[in-house]
A and B are shown apart, each in its own frame.
Chain A
Amino acid sequence: AQSVTQLGSHVSVSEGALVLLRCNYSSSVPPYLFWYVQYPNQGLQLLLKYTSAATLVKGINGFEAEFKKSETSFHLTKPSAHMSDAAEYFCAVSRAGGYQKVTFGIGTKLQVIP
Chain B
Amino acid sequence: SQTIHQWPATLVQPVGSPLSLECTVEGTSNPNLYWYRQAAGRGLQLLFYSVGIGQISSEVPQNLSASRPQDRQFILSSKKLLLSDSGFYLCAWSGAPGLYEQYFGPGTRLTVT
Complex Cα distance A45/B92, Å?
Answer: 11
A43 touches B43 (CB 8 A): no
In this complex, the member of A51, A90, A100 whose beta carbon has the largest number of chain B beta carbons within 10 angstroms is A100
Categorize the interface residue count of chain B. 20 to 34
Q: Which residues of B contact A46 (CB under 8 A)?
A: 101, 103
- Output the nearest chain A residue to B107 by Cβ-Cβ distance: A43
Q: Which residues of B contact A100 (CB under 8 A)?
A: 32, 94, 100, 102
Q: Interface majority SS on B: helix, strand, loop or mixed?
A: strand
- Output the nearest chain B residue to A31 by Cβ-Cβ distance: B100
The residues in A between 70 and 114 inclusive whose CB is less than 8 angstroms from any CB of B are: 90, 94-96, 98-102, 104-107
Which among B41, B43, B51, B103 is the interface contact of A90 at CB below 8 angstroms?
A: B43
What would 8 A/B residue contacts be, using CB atoms closer than 8 Å?
Answer: A41-B88, A43-B6, A43-B105, A45-B104, A90-B43, A101-B46, A102-B101, A104-B43
Given contacts A32-B101, A49-B101, 15 further A-B contacts (CB under 8 A): A9-B41, A32-B100, A34-B101, A36-B104, A41-B107, A41-B109, A42-B107, A46-B103, A94-B100, A96-B100, A99-B32, A99-B51, A100-B94, A101-B46, A104-B44
Report which B residues bind A (CB closer than 8 A).
6, 32, 41-44, 46, 49, 51, 88, 90, 92, 94, 97, 100-107, 109
Report which A residues bind B (CB closer than 8 A).
9, 32, 34, 36, 41-46, 49, 51, 90, 94-96, 98-102, 104-107
